[in-house]
Amino acid sequence: MARTPNFDTLAIHAGQEFDPTTGAVIPPIYQTSTYVQESIGHLRGGYEYSRGGNPTRTVLETLLAALEGGKHGLSFASGLAAEDTILRALLAPGDHIVLGNDVYGGTHRLINRVHGAWGILNSTVEMSDLAAVEQAIIPGETKILWVETPSNPLMKVCDIAALAQIGHRFGVTVIVDNTFASPALQQPLALGADVVVHSTTKYLGGHSDVLGGALIINDDELAEKAQFLQFAAGPVSAPMDAWLTVRGIKTLSVRMDRHCSNAQAIAEHLQGHPAIDRVYYPGLPTHPGHELAKKQMSGFGGMLSISFAGGAAAARSFAEATHLFQLAESLGGVESLVNYPSEMTHASVRGTELEVADNIIRLSVGIEDVADLIDDIDRALGSV
């Protein structure tokens, strides 16, 4: 029996057989909304209408499942569409979610303001404090433990295996947002998580040219519920978006190697700079989650944050002075980006426990030459 291919091979080949009609190496984009039936109720390949299924999306969903080591992959129009679907599949009014106190602002907005209006309750907790997590769970009411590691933007590292054990002891579904690490660096299902969620816009797509989201699920019943919502509510990825994401995933592993090495070099360069209070990067031995990250990740990622000794004015000056690091939301593309979370990605959590200090800048380190990136940073620091 043939062994399962390694990750880099799966990223290029899983779900991507050549086209049997023409021999095309790359599966085509099936830019169609509907499919001719052989006869009433007899479908060709199971395809009826593209909200329910599309061959290009099937390629992506097969690939996503293979990369995360899961049974079922589902592809969505955005990361938040994927999150909304799994919340609907698991929750009813009166249910409770425990989530970290440092998660993506859009996730908290979706849970707190959209689902909160329908009677879903939530508590935020320091996810690295296992005793606090256990205390926050309300037996019989808590249905989801929402884990983001590394977290956005403070790069906190949480023990997925330990959190999965706690969640399962209380009958809670453990969901891990794996966007920052990507499956190239971390595979939460193998550590005991029940569901993995991605914004495929980020590292999986990798080129800042497509929006998308994903769920990877092992449980057949839960996957069926999510697939029903995917069909009934329609938050699916379009064929071109699915194709672009597959194209991006082919180079995921080699891109992550460069993202990681560049981020490590920049984090080490920034440590000890008089303008900077702290560098948040799990690859630094001084990071409180460094040893855990070494254990559950194969690399430390391309994201880092820095806090400025000069407060908000210094942080804003730096963010507006870089050139190669372009001032923009999002992350995970080949190009480097700088973000001011308190007024950009995390503006919606001001006044909550998740509020991000106004002296913090988040860097999405791209795959450019690291010497050029460091030079850009040094020039911007000169303006602080």
Predicted confidence (pLDDT) per residue in 100-156, tens digit: 999 998 999 999 999 999 999 999 999 999 999 999 999 999 999 999 999 999 999
> Among this protein's residues, is 202 annotated catalytic?
yes
Rounded average pLDDT over 6-16: 96
pTM of the model: 0.96
Rounded average pLDDT over 81-103: 97
Rounded average pLDDT over 193-221: 98
Rounded average pLDDT over 55-80: 98
**Res. 354 pLDDT band, cuts 50 70 90:** confident
pLDDT tens by residue, 147-160: 999 999 999 999 99
Round the CA-based radius of gyration of the chain to a whole number and report it: 21
Our CA angle for 89, 129, 276, nearest 5°, is: 105
Q: pLDDT value at position 1?
A: 53
In this model, does residue 377 exceed pLDDT 70?
yes
Strand stretches in the chain, DSSP E: 72-76, 96-100, 121-125, 142-148, 173-177, 195-199, 213-217, 276-280, 303-308, 326-327, 337-339, 360-364
pLDDT tens by residue, 174-205: 999 999 999 999 999 999 999 999 999 999 99
Residues, the chain: 384
Q: Which of 47, 95, 102, 104 is catalytic?
A: 104
Which residue matches tokens 């000794």?
Answer: 309
> Among this protein's residues, is 129 annotated catalytic?
no
Rounded average pLDDT over 242-268: 98
Rounded average pLDDT over 293-313: 98
Rounded average pLDDT over 296-312: 98
Instruction: Confirm if 249 and 11 have CB atoms less than 8 A apart.
Output: yes
Q: pLDDT value at position 106?
A: 93
Which residue matches tokens 């990622």?
Answer: 301
In this model, does residue 2 exceed pLDDT 80?
no
**Res. 355 pLDDT band, cuts 50 70 90:** confident
> Among this protein's residues, is 278 annotated catalytic?
no
Q: Which of 57, 143, 156, 202 is catalytic?
A: 202
Q: pLDDT value at position 274?
A: 96
Q: Which of 51, 247, 250, 258 is catalytic?
A: 51
Rounded average pLDDT over 344-353: 82
Average pLDDT score over the chain: 96
Q: How far apart are CA 139 and CA 23, in angstroms?
A: 56
Q: Which of 95, 177, 241, 376 is catalytic?
A: 177
Residue 277 CA: distances (Å) to CA of 196, 268, 341, 361: 33, 14, 17, 12
Side chain identity at residue 75, one-letter code: S
Break the chain down into helix, strand, coil percent, rounded to 5: 40, 15, 45
> Among this protein's residues, is 95 annotated catalytic?
no
